[in-house]
Amino acid sequence: MSWVEHAIWWHVYPLGLCGAPIREPDTAPGPRLRRLLGWLDYAIELGCSGLLLGPIFESQSHGYDSLDLFSIDTRLGDETDFTELVSQCRDRGLRILLDGVFSHVGEGHPGVKQALAEGPGSPAGRLFDIDWQHPGGPRPRVFEGHSSLVRLNHSGQEAVDLVVRVMNHWLDRGIDGWRLDAAYSVPAGFWSKVVERVRPHHPDAWLLGEVLHGDYCAFVAESGIDSVTQYELWKAIWSSINDRNLFELDHALNRHNQFLDFFTPNTFIGNHDVTRIASRVGADGAVTALAILMTVAGTPSIYYGDEQAFTGIKEERVGGDDAIRPALPDSPTGLAPWGQPVLRAHQDLIGLRRRHPWLVDARTTALHLENQRIVYRSSATNGSTHLDVEIDLTHSPNALIRDATGRELWRQRS
C-alpha cells in the first residue's frame, strides 16, 4: 500500500457538512451528498489526497446509530449519488475512506427486533449482544451506556460475517479503506478474523482503527489492521501549547518514535469528536499545532473547517456535537474571508510536507527543550536529511522550520 505513504486526508462529517437534519424529520429530502462534489477541488487545493468520510449509511440520527450498512442514508441521497462521488474523486486522484461502525447499531435496527422475537438460537439472536437471562426479560447490551446503541456480539461468527460482507461490498464499489469506529471497544481477535478474510480480495485497502488509549502497538499487531488514531500526540500538541509546557510534547514525541517501529499512526489535531483546535489554543496556536503535525511522522488528517480556523466546543449533552460538525456552503466561494490566513498556512505547510515525503516515518529528537521553547529535529530514517523545527510559546505561539542546510523554509506570521 505505497499510496498510503503519501496520504493526507481531509476528514469530513457528511451529515453535518451537507446540512442534513440530525434529530428532526427530513422534510426536504434530496441528494445532499452531492454538495461534497463542490468541495473536491478545494480539498486538492488544500493539498489533501483523500476524503476521510464520517458515516454515510442509513441511520437513526447522527450516523453512528446505523440501521442498514448496505444503504446510503436517505438524508444524503442514494447509491447513485455515492457512485458519482467516487467517480469524481477518481477523476481527481482523491482516495476515499469510509467510516465503519461495526461496534454497535441503532436500537431501531430491524435485526434487533428480529433477534428478540426469534431468540438466542436464531441467526439474528447470535448477531447481537443480548442479555437473554435478564430478570426483566431479554435486554440488548448497549455501547458505553448509550441506550440507543445496541452492541454486536463480537464473539459470534455472525458478526464477523456481517462486517466482512459490508467491508467488501463498499471496497468493491471503489473505496480505498475503512476507519473502524470505536475499534478499541471490540476485541482485537475479532478484527483479526475480519482482516484475514478481507485482505485477499482487497490487499491495498487501508484499515484505520479508532483507539483512544492503551497499547497501540499490541492492538495493531493482534488485530492485523494498519494503523490507529494517535490520541496521545493529539492531546500533547494542544495541551503543551495551552499550558506552555513543551516537555509534554517532547514526551509524546518520544513515545511516537517508539510506535513508529511497529506501525505508522494516523496523526491529527482535530476530528468530529473533539473541541476545535482554534477553540483550544486560538488561531495562532492552531497554526503552530499544524506546523508540528506536518513535521512529525504519521499519516495526517485535517478536519474540515480547521483550515479556516473554525471554532466549536464539544459538549457532553444531546446535540453537543453540533458545533463541531457544521454545514458548509454549497461551494468554497461562500466561505467568509477571515479564514484565508489560516487556509494559506495550511496550504504552505501541507505543501512543505508533500515536498518532504520521507516525513511519513521520520524520527524526531529534541535539540533544545524549555517549558516554552523546543527545537526538534525530524530526520529521515536513512539519515540522508532532516528538518529542524523551533516552537516558541514565549509570547504568541510561533513556529519556524529550517532544512538541513539551515535555510529557512517556513516561518509563522501572526
Decide: residue 161, CB within 10 A, 0-12 exposed, 13-18 middle, 19+ buried. middle
Instruction: Record the cell numbers describing residue 369, joined without a space.
Output: 527543550
Closest Cα to residue 378, out of 393, 394, 391? 391
Using CA atoms in the order 138, 140, 141, 142, what is the torsion angle rounded to 10 degrees? Answer: -150
Query: What is the Cα–Cα distance from 287 to 329, expressed in whole angstroms?
Result: 24
pLDDT grade, residue 156 (50/70/90)? Answer: very high
Considering the chain, what percentage of its residues have pLDDT values greater than 70?
100
Instruction: Give the mean model confidence (pLDDT) for residues 194-207.
Output: 98
pLDDT by residue (tens digit) across 256-273?
A: 999 999 999 999 999 999
- 405 phi and psi, to 5 degrees? -90, -5
Q: Diameter of the chain by CA atoms?
A: 72
Strand intervals (E) in 189-236: 206-209, 227-228
Judge whether residue 414 has pLDDT over 90. no
Q: Do the beta carbons of residue 310 and residue 277 sit within 8 Å?
A: no
pLDDT in tens, 274-284: 999 999 999 99
Residue keyed to cell 440501521: 67
Spatial distance between the Cα atoms of 412 and 182, rounded to a whole number of angstroms: 36
- Once rounded to an integer, what is the mean pLDDT over residues 147-153? 97
What would the pLDDT profile of 167-189 be if each residue is shown by its tens digit? 999 999 999 999 999 999 999 99
- Residue 325's contacts (CB-CB under 8 Å, 6 or more residues apart) are 13, 15, 16, 17, 54, 272
Average pLDDT over residues 358-367: 98
Which amino acid is located at 60 in the chain?
Q
Strands 142-143 and 146-151: antiparallel
- What is the pLDDT averaged over residues 373-388? 98
List residues bridging with 209 in a β-sheet. 180, 228
Q: Given a cut of 60, is residue 1 above it in pLDDT? A: no
**Mean pLDDT across the chain:** 97
pLDDT band at 3 (very low <50, low <70, confident <90, very high): very high
Band of pLDDT at residue 413, cut at 50, 70 and 90: confident
CB 255 within 8 A of CB 364: no
Residue 20's SS3 state is coil
Angle at 411 between CA 410 and CA 414, to 5 degrees: 140
Would the pLDDT of 123 be above 80?
yes
**Helix residue ranges per DSSP H, 210-308:** 216-223, 231-243, 246-260, 277-293
Query: Rounded mean pLDDT of 293-317?
Result: 98
- Beta strand spans in 241-362 (E): 266-268, 299-303
CA distance 120 to 112: 11
Domains and CATH numbers, the chain: 3-361 (3.20.20.80)
pLDDT tens readout for residues 128-146: 999 999 999 999 999 999 9
Q: What single DSSP character describes residue 387?
A: E
Query: In this model, does residue 107 exceed pLDDT 80?
Result: yes
Q: Which residue has the cell 452531492?
A: 34
Give the percent of the chain with pLDDT over 90: 99
Round to whole Å and give the CA distance between 387 and 376: 8
* Structure confidence by residue, pLDDT tens digits, 335-351: 999 999 999 999 999 99
Q: Tell me: the pLDDT tens digits for 12-49?
A: 999 999 999 999 999 988 999 999 999 999 999 999 99
Q: Residue 167 has which C-alpha cell?
A: 467491508
